[in-house]
Amino acid sequence: MCQGKIFNQVEEVITPDNKSAGLRFGKQRHIVCPWHGYEFDLATGCHPGDPAMRLTPVPVAVRNGHIYVSVG
């Protein structure tokens, strides 16, 4: 996420002989916890390697330009 915009994850393209062919934006949109390093798909809330591990959805609303998140 950058300046309120969500971007797809950046992936490195590897050639068959294991050399880098550069970077590209992938098709999936993931967020990564900076503390634990866990990664989750923004669309599903699931961990890409273990779909049973997922984020708990919470209600979010935008009112008068303010974002409200219900956590309790």
pTM metric for this prediction = 0.49
Query: What is the CA 16 to chain-centroid distance, rounded?
Result: 27
- pLDDT band at 6, cuts 50/70/90? low
Greatest extent of the chain over all pairs of C-alpha atoms, in Å: 54
Q: State how far the alpha carbon of 16 is from the alpha carbons of 20, 26, 28, in Å.
A: 10, 19, 22
The tens digit of pLDDT for each residue in 12-69 reads 888 999 999 888 877 777 777 778 778 888 888 888 888 898 888 888 899 998 989 8
